[in-house]
Amino acid sequence: MLPEHSIEVAFWNMQLGGLQMNYGYPDRKSDQSMLVQITEEYQPIVEVLRTKRGSMTNYNYLVVDSFSRRAVIVDPAWQMDVVEHAMSQAQASLEGVLLTHAHADHVDLAGVLSEKYGCPVWMSTREIEASGFSAANLVGIDESDWWIGGMKITPILTPGHTPGCFCYLIGDNLFTGDVLFVEGCGICPDVESAYQMFESLQRLKREIKPETRIFPGHSFGKAPGLNFTGVIRENIYLHFRDKKRFAEFRQRHVHNREKFFEFH
């Protein structure tokens, strides 16, 4: 028996003339293989939202199921008008807020959106416990995946920047918050956290496909959406093989720490 999300995807394609079948579960192997192909090839729409407050620049991401128009938003912050304009243009129905971690520049609009649209706010249980974060409709989650329409959402625990950081894989798109930038990785508060960051980046290298597009919370100049192969080519932090050398470099003394926050 096929899962509900596969039937949903098939139904939408049927409505568009892409698949001829009756309601209910398919009873032919050809239908089943077509459903698998549809599910594997389907990709959501990613709307890149660049928002600012003062000198701080963030990237929020509206991820839309192109068939049902159901959507989630990743790390919404700073400019409600930008978020709502994007939702209106996409004709999207907000189904939830995905938070990579609890820092203020990534959660700024989470509670406001949750209250206005009556949707859940998802954050790792570990991050909630470590940070004390609270918001309307907050739901603590583990690494179990779930579906919004035709979009499979897979949380990946990647501690280092904070104890409970999540990256979210949706289709061939990875939303990395402050774990991984095109040009670097997030600040780590101490050496042990830097060791965790090293292991988190190694995990991403093992599990993420080369063609996956990377969407970080900030940019130092490179546009979001570069594939993982390109990020590996650009990013020195993905080339360390030893966690101690990685930590020494990550925690090195920098004369002008303000450069860490010169986001574009």
Query: In this predicted structure, what is the pLDDT of residue 263?
Result: 55
The residue length of the chain stands at: 264
Beta carbons of 186 and 179 less than 8 angstroms apart = yes
Query: In this predicted structure, what is the pLDDT of residue 55?
Result: 82
Domain ranges of the chain: 4-28+43-261
**Integer angstrom CA distances of residue 134 from 50, 57, 104:** 25, 23, 12
Average pLDDT of the chain is 84
Q: How far, in Å, CA of 65 to CA of 107, rounded?
A: 23
- The 10s digit of each residue's pLDDT in 139-195 is 999 999 999 999 999 999 999 999 999 999 999 999 999 999 999 999 999 999 999
Nearest Cα neighbor of 134 from 106, 154, 107, 105 is: 107
Beta carbons of 67 and 41 less than 8 angstroms apart = no
Helix (H) or strand (E) holding 173, with range, is strand 173-177
- The 10s digit of each residue's pLDDT in 119-144 is 999 999 999 999 999 998 999 999 99
Mean pLDDT value across residues 220-232 = 94
Beta carbons of 121 and 96 less than 8 angstroms apart = yes
| Amino acid occupying residue 184 | G
| pLDDT above 90: percentage of residues in the chain | 73
pLDDT band at 41 (very low <50, low <70, confident <90, very high): low
Query: In this predicted structure, what is the pLDDT of residue 186?
Result: 95
Options 3.40.47.10, 3.60.15.10, 3.90.1170.50, 3.30.465.10; CATH for 4-28+43-261 is 3.60.15.10
Q: Is the pLDDT of residue 36 over 60?
A: no
Q: Is the pLDDT of residue 26 over 50?
A: no
pLDDT band at 61 (very low <50, low <70, confident <90, very high): very high
Beta carbons of 127 and 143 less than 8 angstroms apart = no
Query: In this predicted structure, what is the pLDDT of residue 254?
Result: 64
pLDDT band at 54 (very low <50, low <70, confident <90, very high): confident
Q: Is the pLDDT of residue 56 over 90?
A: no
Hey, how many other C-beta atoms are within 10 angstroms of the C-beta on 236? 11
Beta carbons of 63 and 46 less than 8 angstroms apart = yes
